[in-house]
A and B are shown apart, each in its own frame.
Chain A
Amino acid sequence: MINLEIPEKLETLVYQAHMAALHVLRPISRKYDSAEHSYPTELDGLAELVAQANAAQAGLASVPETGSGPAAPAGGAASRAGNVNGRNLASLVGLIEMCWGDVGLMLTMPRQGLGQAAISAVATPEQLKRFGGRWAAMAITEPEAGSDSAAIRTTAVLDGDEYVLNGEKIYVTSGDRAELIVVWATLDRDAGRGAIKSFVVERDNPGLRLDRLEHKLGIRASDTANFVLENCRVPKENLLGSPEITTAREGFAGAMQTFDNTRPMIAGMAVGVARAALERTRELLEAAEVTIDYDRPLHSLPAAVAEFIGMEADWEAARLLAMRAAWMSDNRMPNTVAASMAKAKAGRMATDVTLRCVALCGALGFGEDELLEKWARDAKILDIFEGTQQIQQLVIARQLLDRRSTELK
Chain B
Amino acid sequence: MRSMSAEADLVKPARQAAPEPGVSFDLTPSDEQRMMVDAVRDFAARQVRPAAAEADHSCRTPPPLLAAAGALGLSATGIPTAHGGPLDERATVTSALIAEALAEGDMGIAVACLAPGGVATALGLWGDAEQQATHLPALAAEMPPAAAIAIMEPRALFDPFALRTQARRTAGGDILLDGVKSLVPRGAECGLLLVAAAVDGGPSLLLVEPNAGTSVVPAPGMGVRSAATASITFEQVRLPQRALLGESDPQVYAELVARSRLAWSALAVGTGAAVLAYVSEYVNQRTAFGEPISNRQSVAFMVADMATEIESIRLATLRACSLAESGRPFTREAALAHALTVAQATAIGSDGVQLLGGHGYTREHPVERWFRDLRAAGIFIGALAL
Contact = CB atoms under 8 A, between A and B. Distances in A.
Interface of A: 1-9, 65, 67-68, 80, 83, 85, 89, 294-300, 309-310, 312-314, 316-318, 320-321, 323-324, 327, 337, 341, 344-345, 390, 392-394, 396-398, 400-403, 407-409
A2 B26 contact: yes
B300 interface: yes
A321 B24 contact: no
B315 A320 contact: yes
A341 B306 CA distance: 11
A299 B157 contact: yes
B339 A313 contact: yes
Contacts of B332: 294
Interface in B251-297: 254, 257-258, 280, 283-284, 291-292, 294-297
A401 B315 contact: no
Contacts of A294: 331-332, 334-336
B19 interface: yes
A85 B304 contact: no
A345 B343 CA distance: 14
Contacts of A297: 158-160, 381
Given A299-B157, A309-B335, A400-B280, A3 B294 contact: no
A295 B330 CA distance: 11
A401 B283 CA distance: 8
B23 A8 contact: yes
Nearest to A398: B300
A interface, by DSSP: helix, strand, loop or mixed? helix
A316 B323 CA distance: 15
B336 A312 contact: yes
Contacts of B331: 294-295
A44 B291 CA distance: 56
B295 A407 contact: yes
Interface string B310-339: 011101101100110000000111111101
23 contacts: A2-B22, A2-B26, A2-B30, A4-B319, A294-B336, A297-B158, A297-B159, A309-B335, A314-B312, A316-B333, A316-B336, A316-B340, A320-B312, A320-B316, A321-B312, A321-B315, A324-B315, A341-B307, A341-B308, A393-B301, A394-B300, A396-B304, A401-B284
B21 A317 contact: no
Contacts of A390: 297, 301
Given A310-B339, A403-B294, A1 B26 contact: yes
Contact of A313 (B158, B160, B258, B316): B316
A298 B26 contact: no
Contacts of B294: 397, 401, 403, 407-408
A73 B28 CA distance: 19
Contacts of A89: 25
Contacts of B50: none
B255 to A, nearest CB: 9
A284 to B, nearest CB: 20
Contact of A67 (B26, B159, B161, B309): B26
A400 to B, nearest CB: 6
B339 A83 contact: no
A296 B283 CA distance: 39
B21 A5 contact: yes
A295 B257 contact: yes
A341 B159 contact: no
Interface of B: 19-30, 33, 93, 157-162, 254, 257-258, 280, 283-284, 291-292, 294-297, 300-301, 303-305, 307-309, 311-313, 315-316, 318-319, 322-323, 331-337, 339-340, 342-343, 381
A392 B297 CA distance: 12
A67 B30 CA distance: 12
A393 B343 contact: no
B24 A65 contact: yes
B339 A309 contact: yes
Contacts of A320: 312, 315-316, 319
A66 to B, nearest CB: 9
Contact of A401 (B21, B257, B303): B303
B22 A5 contact: yes
B243 to A, nearest CB: 24
A85 B307 contact: no
Given A309-B335, A320-B312, A5 B304 contact: no
Nearest to A299: B157
Contacts of A403: 294-295, 300
Nearest to B284: A401
Given A317-B340, A321-B312, A401-B294, A4 B304 contact: no
Most buried by B among A6, A80, A318, A341: A341
Given A2-B28, A314-B343, A324-B315, 9 more contacts: A2-B322, A5-B319, A6-B25, A297-B160, A300-B159, A345-B312, A394-B297, A397-B301, A401-B284
B161 A298 contact: no
Contacts of A80: 28
Given A83-B28, A294-B331, A3 B322 contact: yes
A309 B159 contact: no
Contacts of A408: 294-297, 300
Contact of B340 (A313, A341, A392): A313
A263 to B, nearest CB: 13
A298 B342 contact: yes
